[in-house]
Structure 1
């Protein structure tokens, strides 16, 4: 918690997204102080509420049946349940959109038009609305109607073709990244686009439609690999943990396991060779420059591996960190959270839940990873743990002017 003001407390966000890309975007905005109202299906909620195991555990350590997945992308939000397939539910969304600055949705192309909740319709209600659509393949093109998921995009974009070991190596073959990388990056790009659109609105007074595509993002984050192909025509190949343009920049065996050695320039290589007791390697014309090291990778790497096997991982880290040679352990996630630097930065956070949430799910606190956004004057805030399904329905509807009797009637009719 911080006693400093948040960056975006004036911003009202209507979140009609689910799973990961959209919720990741809106959690970024929520962490920065925006009031995010998450719309969920009555009785079911966001798909990720059921994506388990792992599940949240109660005070006795027993699984509750509430998936931990949901918690990674939904803190600092208010959850309400609305059936948007019914006219009364659609009317509630329009009322909320009238009061909102931003709407984020990830329905199929044209999906919300059936309910009169597409951008063209809501623009008539609120011309200042910034409406962000997130889909697998964008609002146009031959694949626009297709459903898109992170794994599909990792495969189609070429990401899997450069991830993993070469086919001829044991265990070789294309691999997905260990998290839904294109979903997460799409959420980050979407939040950036929304903040840009808000800046434009400051000047023009008008909102706009943002068209975010997982495939577009998947291609964009190929970065240097895409740049290399586009400018040379050479298709990048899988090469495990080594780097196509830097040597040595990979995992290296040690006496007790392995370490990561990430040498990015010739000075670092020279210092590594000095620490390793082999200064002559840095003077060898085949290895003196990074370009030559890349060209002679097959000769150099086995020599370096023979050297790194002579000491433990901890010994190498201790010897190299004071010489400004980037290296480190290859941690599992448990080891990463136990790391001194991770702990010093406070990257694991714990949020208490409301009495209503504790009663509903039997879980009193939820832990998650802190926002990496470190603003000195307006840091991220922690004001709500990930909500239970519909936890804030009465509160939000009351804010629209509905009295208790009307809210009860809506609930009895299955609208909320």
Structure 2
């Protein structure tokens, strides 16, 4: 009898619980008919500006690098042959050769478009801190905080050029990417070229003024040492014969691939659209190449070296360079190291005529200078940069700022 009463009470409790849950769900459905709607912001955080004492973030974690080093040391101690795959064995990755040609052509097209759009769009650069602004008039945001800057932290603007939108980064050109690294005594003998060009050369582009060695036979790794059979048994038509690999002081002719493209365009908007496509194609292609071809960068400065290892030139002047005898702290590079974007404030209202003010800087977005330049010329900005532009944020007026929650 007692057991039956307990069962009835439990059933009654279960029925009440189910009905209450159903009622709550019904109430929620009425109050929030769009329950699947997400109010999450699409704002994308820009890369953190590092201090002089901070190191660049690792692409691969330091623990994973240590584990990989211990494994390689154990394999070297076994003293057996290790089969290398392209490009580690000196051969080209055949499916990436067309990608290298596309990246090289996109780079030439990008520089041509930027040089044409710059003629109709103003570029300013701060003479003290080097900050860049695209568009007229320059902004009034007080972010100049370097040695010698005024107490008000206002920028001192001067006319900029293409170099401020596409900064120049150089890397040593390697005749043999599997060979030894560039020494300190060879720093004036080896050519310095943009790393994106060096990456394309190592991936299959042939430029007459920058010769490179193309192997027919792969190299082998035995107990950690690279064995090259082409050196021991050279062919009669050796690819490195009668080639001056150090042409630093010679006068060169421009390559046919580097000729400016023949664009039958009439206004800046057409160049902006083509330039935006070239920018995206160059960065996406460089990402594909860097998945196979290693690129190194210094963890404290902007030095870049394309190849499996960094050079030995002691020209690092960054944090604690005395402890490294001026040598660089090499680590794996990213696309932003090879093609560094210069972030500038995004100008929404081009017809308003007023500059961006310091009091409303938290409502403004940022874009890479190249993208901002083409956007002001009339090109469509891709989905990758929508979160940076912050166009979904309403910018209040100067008198309304204090009423914003």
* Bin for the TM-score computed over the shorter chain: under 0.3
TM-score of the superposed pair, with normalisation by structure 2: 0.23
Give the structure, 1 or 2, with the largest relative contact order (CA under 8 Å, sep 6 or more): 2
The normalised TM-score by structure 1 is 0.23
Name the structure with the higher strand share.
1
Determine which structure has more spread, i.e. the larger CA radius of gyration. 2
Higher helix share: 1
